[in-house]
Chain A
Amino acid sequence: TQLLEQSPQFLSIQEGENLTVYCNSSSVFSSLQWYRQEPGEGPVLLVTVVTGGEVKKLKRLTFQFGDARKDSSLHITAAQPGDTGLYLCADFSSNTGKLIFGQGTTLQVKP
């Protein structure tokens, strides 16, 4: 069974700082997704990465997919309080086709 490990589990930073969170898989990713879940809401898809070495940017967020497709990172530049939330990575299981989620990184950005 594929396992997704996210690190760190918790991160508390000041507004304006940069940060990186990580997602590592016990097996090669099929189609990695990053979600953000704001307090009191459901997760919302940010990006899907498929190709090894792929880099995608979404405003101040940069998503990187490892060459071997077993790891991914999310870098946020100049974090803002609106970035506060739970960041989840997820992958489609090649066996079942269902989404498997990591345990998430909780980010708090203080003004």
Chain B
Amino acid sequence: DVKVTQSSRYLVKRTGEKVFLECVQDMDHENMFWYRQDPGLGLRLIYFSYDVKMKEKGDIPEGYSVSREKKERFSLILESASTNQTSMYLCASSLVGGKQTQYFGPGTRLLVL
């Protein structure tokens, strides 16, 4: 069974804190993605990576950075959390190539106070 896991299901942080969200996949997928999900807005792509140490900005990268040191692990970093980053964060992975199925983790619900 394919598996994408995320380090936390729920997180509560204070404004200004540095936040790390981790994602691990066991399918040897090349591509990994970070989305945020907000009511009425669907999923919006923050960053993605198509190889180790490679990253590309998605549609809403401001306020976020990412790290991919190993193929199976993709981290999302909020350098200085703000209240407007309160959201559900979803990680996904897929094989390389166009139009591949993306497999999602269960999500991390982040609350920034």
Contact = CB atoms under 8 A, between A and B. Distances in A.
Chains A and B come from one and the same complex: yes
Interface stretch (B67-75, B78-86, B103-111): B103-111
Interface string A78-111: 0000000000101010000111011110000000
Most A CB within 10 A of own CB, among B9, B90, B104: B104
Size bin of chain A's contact surface: 20 to 34
For chain B, which range describes its interface: under 10, 10 to 19, 20 to 34, or 35 or more residues? 20 to 34
B99 A101 contact: no
Contacts of B105: 42
B60 interface: no
Contact of A30 (B99, B101, B107): B99
Interface of B: 4, 9, 40-45, 48, 58, 90, 92, 98-99, 101-102, 104-107
Interface of A: 4, 9, 30-31, 33, 40-45, 48, 88, 90, 92, 97-99, 101-104
